[in-house]
Amino acid sequence: MLVMNKKYKRRKVYFSLLVIICVLAFLGNLFYPILNVSKSESYIDVGICGAINRPAVYRLQTESSLANLIVRGNGLKLDANVDSIDFNERLLDKRIYHIPYRSNKFDVYRDSIKITKVSSKKVVNEDKEINILYVGYPALYYILTYNKAKRKAVFTFIPYSTVFLNNEFRIIDIFFTLGIGSTVDILMKSLNKKIDYYYIQDKASFVRMIENFGGIEIDVDKDFAAEYRLKEGRQMLNGELCYNYISFIKSAIKV
């Protein structure tokens, strides 16, 4: 019974935090230019080549990750070797990053990728149900389902390592290789749910958004407090800790 109560408490805290994040994301889009008018940002120049759709040199904000650079480069090619990619790798100024190609065995995967595009007419939504896909790239994927009739919201966490195609492509690889459109289509087909909206946000913008709003007040439990050397109980967490908190909670909950 104590284990069940602990899991329920974590789910409740996780749900509350994600609701707050959705609200802040909406407000952040409205007020971000005002909140940052007096702040100076530093940038780095980095290049990317190899199995990338648009190889070039890009200017990105300091502390950007390889995931940011891949998105700026219009995503990976189908024959990119995703197994060797660390999407969280921190970018260094004046450096060129090379994305390797797969070996010739990739041909066995090509047909299964081509047939993943599906029509939204083939999926079903319950009456008065809205589904929102949140992509916190590189590795956070979940669907918020809100039933207006029942006034109930449910979060479905999708582990980034989940495989939906008939090959080793994970959801994280689908997003960075095929793009958000195919990611939505594959999820609709696999879950038999229509996705009405999606929201994409990287870690850097997530951290800045939370910082601009002065942090989020979280009831820190014993496990997270021990992991990050914090005190237990309700307290304000900054952007970096909030991002780590989501990752920590989702890894502790088996969905």
CATH architecture for the domain at 43-102? Roll (3.10)
The whole-angstrom separation of Cα 201 and Cα 141 is: 11
235-246 pLDDT, tens digit each: 999 988 988 887
Tokens of 162: 């989940």
209-239 pLDDT, tens digit each: 888 888 888 888 888 899 898 989 999 999 8
- How does DSSP classify residue 47? E
78-93 pLDDT, tens digit each: 889 888 889 989 999 9
DSSP code per residue over 100-155:
PBP-GGGHHHHHHHHTT---GGGSB--TTEEEEEEEEETTEEEEEEEETTTTEEEE
CATH class of 1-39+110-255: alpha beta
Percentage of the chain exceeding pLDDT 70: 71
Round the CA-based radius of gyration of the chain to a whole number and report it: 20
Please name the amino acid found at residue 105. Answer: K
The answer to whether residue 51 scores a pLDDT higher than 90 is yes
Average pLDDT rounded to a whole number, residues 89-98: 95
Cis-peptide, bond into residue 138, ω within 30° of zero: yes
Cβ pair 155, 144 in contact under 8 A: yes
For all residues of the chain together, what is the average pLDDT? 78
Domain ranges of the chain: 1-39+110-255, 43-102
β-pair partners for 207: none
Cβ pair 80, 177 in contact under 8 A: yes
120-140 pLDDT, tens digit each: 455 556 567 899 999 988 888
Tokens of 20: 């707050």
The whole-angstrom separation of Cα 210 and Cα 20 is: 10
Give helix then strand counts, H and E, for the chain. 7, 9
